Amino acid sequence: MVGELEKLEELERREKLRWAFRLRRRLIIGLVFLYALSVVARLVTPRLTVLAFLLLFFAINEFREWLFRRRLAESVATRVLIVGEICAVVLAIYCSGGAESFLLPLSVLQIVGITVHVSYDFGWICAYVSTAAFSLVNILEFLGLAPHSPLFLSAPDGAAVYFRQTPIASGDPWRAFCYLVVATVGYGFTLSLTAYASGYINQKIKVREELLERAYSLQSAMWRLSDSLLGEFSVKSGAQILSTWMVHDLGYSSCVVELGLADNGFERTAHPPDFATDGELARLYSLRPANGEPAHTAGQQYLPLLRGEESLGWVVLGCAHRPGEEEMAILDTATNQFLSFLEKARSHQEIVKLSITDELTGIFNHRHFVAHLRQEVERARRYGQPAALLLMDLDHFKRVNDVYGHLAGDAVLKGLARRIQKSVRTTDLVARYGGEEFIVLAPQTDLGSAEMLAERLRHVVSESPLPADDRDLAVSISVGVAEVLVDRAQTDTDLMRIADSRLYRAKSAGRNRVIASSPDH
């Protein structure tokens, strides 16, 4: 981000300089044209020296632009050329009437351009150089070492009254001296005031530009954070985005995002990744403010993540200084964006959970199981690993609904789901397949192990009654077991068909039993 701003600033500066070169070119051409017209109209004294110095100014300007295009505009030679431009303008002023010259505003524009486009200090230096050069030619004229050059043909007097193109002894030295002092002081004061005013205005503009650039930079950073969090739904990934953003975009040395979990533990995400060692995390944890308010302690800024009165965690920043009001406002905005993301992620997780969970029993539903089964069959066949499928049906469940009611039936289904869930491994997937049918997908399990698992489940279900509304009911299950045959072109549909067939045989054989083989075995 900083690099992009520096590039934009450099492009803007170069565009300003390019504009200044073009302005000076057009101004010089316009002044030459104006002077030529005045000479043709016999309004001013024709002097080739005026045109010569203006053309010298034009040539130096063109040479400076040539250096600028080759990125040599910051060299010492360029500053020497600027001083040469000033001297050329002063000589053109002298040759066109001195204090009476129509070119005097050109010096003012020169100082403005130098102060704005080069530097404030160099603008003052050039104002002094221009004043000194103007004073020098006036002194030479005063001493009779240089001829007076009146501007207008119709004005033989004017400054000539005081100089008469003669040494001091043959003229009126006092009046000539006063004229010299007034012209020089007026010229120098005008240029000094121009340098100060243009420098002051330019400084104000730069301050405003810096404020605008900072505001734009912060706004762009906020947009990047918002855009990064917009398409993300993982809490861990969102915390990583926030911690990385705090370090890269806002310049903090480190950032640890600590989020509370449902089991009263904590999940911590840090940037840089190697910053948050176990010892460092323990230290940061011990220094958290007890009152849940933002605080700056031991080189760390603690920002609470609050949702109403509920504390969701902390953002801990590596920050040697205590943030001011403006910085705290930025941090508050960032943490509020992250809190909005957490709310969105929580809602998304709930929606995902609802879409894959059976509403009654709380275990996975049929759609999620089918999608997972397809992936597991592909994995088992690709890597030659065993996997088994257990399809279960609650025996005589219709009688439970008919005799005890549907509320009792729902209670039995919930209790059965809980028992199955507790009796299998954490790697096994349990789902409600439909109605009173339940299904278990057991990865890394061959047919023999799957049959033993099915027998254990059957025993767990039948050994003790299940609570059903205001009573306990003894129930049993029938189970059909199928194995993924890795050496055959078997699909998930084939596996389900086998398990369903064996379940049907178990029920036909009297229920409360497990069938794990085909009829011909």
What is the per-residue pLDDT across 101-127, written as a single tens digit (0 to 9) for each? 778 888 888 888 888 877 888 888 888
Report the C-alpha gap between 360 and 354 in whole angstroms. Answer: 11
Provide the pLDDT for residue 499. 93
Residue 418 confidence (pLDDT) above 70: yes
**pLDDT of 251-283, one tens digit each?**
888 888 888 754 444 566 776 666 555 555 566
Average pLDDT over residues 423-428: 92
Query: How high is the pLDDT of residue 145?
Result: 75
Give the ranges where 231-324 is alpha helix by DSSP (H).
Answer: 235-248, 278-286
Tokens of 89: 């303008």
pLDDT at 149: 63
User: For residues 483 and 447, is the Cβ–Cβ distance under 8 A?
Assistant: yes
pLDDT at 451: 93
Amino acid in the structure at residue 264:
N
Mean pLDDT of 51-80: 76
Q: Mean pLDDT, to the nearest integer, of 58-81?
A: 75
Confidence label for 502 from pLDDT (cuts 50, 70 and 90): very high
Can you tell me which residue has the tokens 């890394």? 444
- The least confident of 57-61, 78-82, 295-299 is 295-299
Expressed in percent and rounded to 5, the helix, strand and coil fractions of the chain are 60, 15, 25
Tell me the average pLDDT across 364-375: 90
The confidence band for 96, taking pLDDT boundaries of 50, 70 and 90, is: confident
Residue 2 pLDDT more than 80?
Answer: no
- Collapsing DSSP to helix, strand or coil, 252 comes out as coil
Most confident listed range (164-178, 243-257, 491-505): 491-505
pLDDT of residue 330: 87
Confidence of residue 443 (pLDDT cuts 50, 70, 90): very high
Pairing of strands 514-515, 477-483: parallel
Q: How many percent of the chain have pLDDT more than 70?
A: 83
Q: How far apart are the first and last CA of the chain?
A: 71
What's the pLDDT score for residue 156? 43
Does the N-terminal peptide bond of residue 272 adopt cis geometry, omega within 30 degrees of 0?
yes
Whether the CA torsion 269, 275, 280, 284 is positive or negative: it is negative
Q: How confident is the model at residue 155 (pLDDT cuts 50, 70, 90)?
A: very low
Which residues, other chains included, contact 495 with Cβ-Cβ below 8 Å and sequence gap of 6+? 373, 377, 389, 482, 484
Q: What is the pLDDT of residues 283-325, one digit of tens each?
A: 666 666 665 677 777 778 888 888 777 778 888 888 888 888 8
Where is average pLDDT lowest: 42-46, 327-331, 344-348, 395-399?
Answer: 42-46
Query: What is the C-alpha separation between 475 and 420, in angstroms, rounded?
Result: 13
Residue 489 has pLDDT above 70, yes or no: no
Comparing C-alpha atoms, which of 430, 487, 483, 488 is closest to residue 460? 430
Q: How far apart are alpha carbons 123 and 232 in whole angstroms? A: 54
pLDDT at 36: 80
What's the confidence (pLDDT) of residue 180?
77
Task: Please say if the pLDDT value at position 359 is more than 80.
Answer: yes
pLDDT at 171: 56
Rg (CA), the chain: 45
**Where is pLDDT greater, at 405 or 141?**
405
Count of beta carbons in the 10 Å neighbourhood of residue 513: 17
Assigned token pair, 349 = 């997780």
Q: Report the distance separating Cα 261 and Cα 239, nearest Å.
A: 14
Distance CA 314, CA 281 (A): 12
- pLDDT at residue 163 tops 60: no
Quick check: 393 pLDDT over 60?
yes
Q: Which of 3-7, 174-178, 251-255, 412-416 shows the lowest mean pLDDT across its residues?
A: 3-7
Q: Which of 136-140, 249-253, 353-357, 392-396 has the highest mean pLDDT?
A: 392-396
Query: How far apart are the C-alpha atoms of 73 and 491, rounded to whole Å?
Result: 74
Range 76-85 average pLDDT: 79
Top-confidence residue, 490 or 455: 455
pLDDT at 126: 87
Q: Where are the beta strands (DSSP E) in 300-418?
A: 300-307, 310-318, 387-394
Here the tokens at position 435 are 């109605």
360 CB-near residues (< 8 Å, 6+ apart): 410, 413, 414, 432
pLDDT band at 390 (very low <50, low <70, confident <90, very high): very high
Token reading at 445? 């399990």
Check whether 420 has a pLDDT greater than 90. Answer: yes
- Residues 122 and 109: their CA atoms lie apart, in Å, by 15
